[in-house]
Amino acid sequence: MKGFLPKEPPLREYQKSSPSLDRLQEIAHNLPKLLLTSQVQPTVESLTKDDLSIQEILESNSEREIRLAMVHLSFISHAYVLGGGKPNDKLPEVLAAPWVRVSKFLGRPPVLSYASYCLDNWFLLEKGEVCLENIGLINNFLGGVDEDWFVTIHVCIEHAASGAIEAADKLSRCDNTSNETEVKSLLSDIEISLKKVNKIFLRMTERCDPYIYYHRVRPFIFGSKDNPDLKNGLIYENQFSNEAQFFRGETGAQSSIVPTLDGVLEVKHSKDALRHYLNEMREYMPPEHRNFIERVENSTSVRDLVLDSSNLKKIYYQCLEELSKFRALHLNYADMYIHKQSQQKNPFGTGGSTIKGTGGTPFMTYLKKHLQETKRK
């Protein structure tokens, strides 16, 4: 498997069995029912501090199992913190300790990030292609068609983008000695791949209703940074010297696709709060992904190659056009799924901040700026 999805499909179950791992998996799988019956907090608070230990898989250095534990712990912790009427600002040690340990191993903060929400949270229904008709989710919160569709759309986008990522890797290694035909072919691969991405992204509205997304999906994926409902941060019991921590929530800005393509196509972002935010999002990516982005950024010379060749300009600008279409679609969805929903009366809760995205940013302002900077020639 190419792109930023795992080389092998994520594990659905631990390869080893132990009371603590079995318990962790059972709670994670039962989250929809536990949330529905307001039993997440009582269930977690009935446990002793070592009841969800992940020591065995850390000692075995089994990365696939460790990533599965990160998924389980992230979902349970977010359900505990955000699944009640009022957010909890303290996470019990039984969750905090293993979550911090597994996050350190993976080189990411202990928060539900895009990697655990999407990249490591799917399985194939049957052997074969990664497509919307053939994947399901390992974990969800309340469950249902809308939540599943929202996440599986992103999994399939990652798969569809694999051709662009492979081409970006090769293109970043090209220089003024490279064959122009090869450069043109790689740019064409990026354009074709992005067309596939946009075709999938256009299907979001088929089975993910904006009202359901805003009220039943979105509330669980916020973080503690710039979150008005957790303005004092989140305390991880007996971790970080019991000092409150502030981490961004899950957001598509933590996907490595667009930063890679921005890098190889040399789309420049102004040195402002937006640029700082985009760089901050890399802290939530798997280390190998952010290292890949940095290598692409530091080695590419595509614009120089394009400016020196009238033959390459057309396909280069076609790539930028497809990237702009993706960003325009994202902006449209943000308006449809968040901004417009925030204007309606809501019997189910707030859906989180109406001004800021799940990553804690003024999302409409940032998305518009992303689009403008991509279109800027």
Q: Residue length, the chain?
A: 377
CATH code for the domain in which residue 301 is found: 1.20.58.480
Say if 259 falls within a structural domain.
yes
Rounded CA gap, 342 and 213, in Å? Answer: 12
Say if 131 falls within a structural domain.
no
Q: Does residue 357 sit in helix, strand or coil? A: coil
Task: Give the model confidence (pLDDT) of 83-132 as tens digits.
Answer: 998 999 999 999 999 999 999 999 999 999 999 999 999 999 999 999 99
Q: What is the DSSP letter of 11?
A: P
Task: Give the model confidence (pLDDT) of 124-162 as tens digits.
Answer: 999 999 999 999 999 999 999 999 999 999 999 999 999
Closest CA to 220 of 40, 100, 366: 40
Q: Does residue 235 sit in helix, strand or coil? A: strand
Per residue, the 3-state secondary structure of 141-170, as one string, reads CCCCHHHHHHHHHHHHHHHHCHHHHHHHHH
Q: Does residue 338 sit in helix, strand or coil? A: helix
**What is the pTM assigned to this prediction?**
0.93
pLDDT at 348: 45
CB atoms closer than 10 angstroms to residue 99: 25
Say if 246 falls within a structural domain.
yes
Say if 67 falls within a structural domain.
no
Say if 176 falls within a structural domain.
yes
Distance of CA 173 to the CA centre of its chain: 27
Say if 315 falls within a structural domain.
yes
Say if 43 falls within a structural domain.
no
Which structural domain range is residue 292 located in?
Answer: 161-233+242-375
pLDDT at 275: 84
CB distance 198 to 329 below 8 Å? yes
Rounded CA gap, 31 and 34, in Å? Answer: 5
- If one counts the domains in the chain, the total is 1
Half-sphere CA count of 68, side-chain side, radius 13 A: 28
Cβ contacts of residue 156 below 8 Å, gap of 6+? 130, 131, 132, 135, 200
pLDDT at 352: 47
Where the chain has pLDDT below 50, the residues are: 1, 347-355
Cβ contacts of residue 218 below 8 Å, gap of 6+? 337, 338, 351, 352, 358
Rounded CA gap, 113 and 117, in Å? Answer: 6
Say if 104 falls within a structural domain.
no
